């Protein structure tokens, strides 16, 4: 299978490495910037070393024309601006039509300005609904490249596409499950990053013992959100959300957890933390839908109002006592 991975950052470089490892003809694309140029020159970054069988390029048209399957691994907030370029390249290739190629989104986020899920953004940009999928679930590149396996989820609007993609990318390193709830899968995957921010704050405050409560109540909040948006609340307790908590709330490799810990320390994080924009997006959704999400609201306040974390955490504990379920 011909695979093109668009985006050569941490996750994108892993996906290209993985696709090649399991036998696919792989191109790793990146814009002509410092990250790409370093990778093209050395065939490695701080996470992974590429074999020479992977083609590294900054020609988007070439990467698109090569692919049967296009994997996109960029910032979630950059998707709307990037997809028209991808679709133009497909349209410019006279041998195929824009909707013939399958597109897999490997980002976890919600568009901050609109509150849209990423597949909704893709469809609005012109991707055919039946050709768009998401690849989510737990796992860090640092573990995968050492041969540590994990379980992930492939989901889409089409059972046939979900099964085809999951079977295409399954191996002894990643066990895939077929997703059956695109709304819940996307919302669950995006919101786990929000709780990763608070997990890092708890670490910074020496309150890591509260992560158990954060896991339980956070998943409950997300279940209510998913249900309100038309998905299955059980998705919040699956691999896309609760299953990804170990990699997000506890791992030293989690950018979102690190962002929260650095926030407490007064240190600016330089790595992408998708949870920051997603927290703002979810706060808007919750307000518009009338959903009570106190933990998410707390995190959004911390980010937007720069309030002392200890003050807001104490506010959560002063809320009226209620039934757990």
Summarize pLDDT for 171-202 with one digit per residue, the tens.
Answer: 999 999 999 999 999 999 999 999 999 999 99
> Helix 118-125 crosses helix 182-204 at what angle (to 10 degrees)?
130
| 2-178 and 189-317 have identical folds | no
Structure tokens at 50: 């590429």
Alpha helices (H) in the chain, listed in sequence order: 10-21, 34-42, 60-66, 79-92, 118-125, 141-144, 159-169, 182-204, 211-228, 245, 255-265, 275-289, 294-305, 309-317
68-113, pLDDT tens digit by residue? 999 999 999 999 999 999 999 988 876 555 457 999 999 999 999 9
The CATH code of domain 189-317 reads 1.10.1040.10
Dmax (CA) of the chain: 64
Where do the domains of the chain lie?
A: 2-178, 189-317
As a whole number of angstroms, the distance between CA 314 and CA 295 comes to: 12
Mean pLDDT calculated for residue range 309-319: 78
Check residue 94 and give its pLDDT: 60
Return the percentage of the chain with pLDDT > 90, whole number.
86
Q: Can you give the pLDDT at residue 230?
A: 98
Q: 304 vs 283, 300, 307, CA distance in Å?
A: 11, 6, 8
**pTM of the entire predicted model:** 0.94
Beta bridge partners, 151, equal 175
Q: Which helix (H) or strand (E) holds 152?
A: strand 150-156
pLDDT of 134 above 60: yes
CATH of 2-178, one of 3.40.50.300, 1.10.1660.10, 3.90.1150.10, 3.40.50.720: 3.40.50.720
């Amino acid at each position: 299978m011909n695979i093109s991975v668009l985006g050569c950052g941490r996750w994108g470089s892993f996906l290209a490495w993985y696709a090649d490892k399991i036998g696919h003809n792989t191109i790793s694309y990146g814009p002509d910037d410092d990250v790409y140029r370093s990778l093209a020159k050395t065939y490695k970054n701080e996470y992974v070393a590429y074999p020479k069988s992977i083609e590294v390029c900054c020609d988007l048209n070439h990467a698109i024309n090569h692919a049967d399957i296009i994997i996109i691994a960029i910032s979630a907030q950059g998707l709307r601006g990037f997809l028209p370029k991808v679709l133009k390249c497909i349209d410019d290739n006279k041998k195929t039509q824009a909707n013939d190629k399958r597109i897999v989104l490997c980002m976890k986020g919600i568009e901050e300005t609109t509150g849209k899920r990423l597949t909704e953004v893709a469809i609005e940009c012109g991707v055919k609904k039946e050709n768009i999928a998401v690849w989510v679930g737990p796992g860090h590149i640092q573990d995968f490249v050492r041969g540590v396996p994990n379980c992930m989820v492939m989901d889409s609007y089409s059972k046939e596409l979900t099964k085809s993609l999951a079977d295409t990318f399954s191996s002894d390193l990643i066990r895939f499950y077929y997703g059956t709830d695109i709304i819940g899968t996307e919302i669950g995957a995006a919101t786990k990053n929000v709780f990763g921010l608070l997990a890092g704050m708890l670490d910074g405050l020496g309150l890591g013992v509260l992560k158990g409560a954060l896991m339980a109540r956070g998943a409950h909040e997300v279940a209510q959100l998913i249900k309100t948006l038309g998905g299955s609340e059980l998705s919040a307790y699956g691999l896309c959300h609760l299953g990804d908590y170990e990699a997000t709330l506890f791992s030293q490799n989690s950018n979102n957890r690190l962002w929260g810990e650095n926030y407490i320390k007064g240190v600016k994080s330089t790595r992408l933390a998708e949870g920051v924009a997603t927290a703002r997006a979810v706060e808007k959704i919750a307000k518009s839908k009338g959903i009570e999400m106190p933990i998410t609201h707390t995190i959004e306040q911390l980010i937007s109002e720069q309030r002392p974390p200890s003050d807001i955490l104490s506010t959560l504990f002063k809320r009226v006592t209620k039934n757990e379920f």
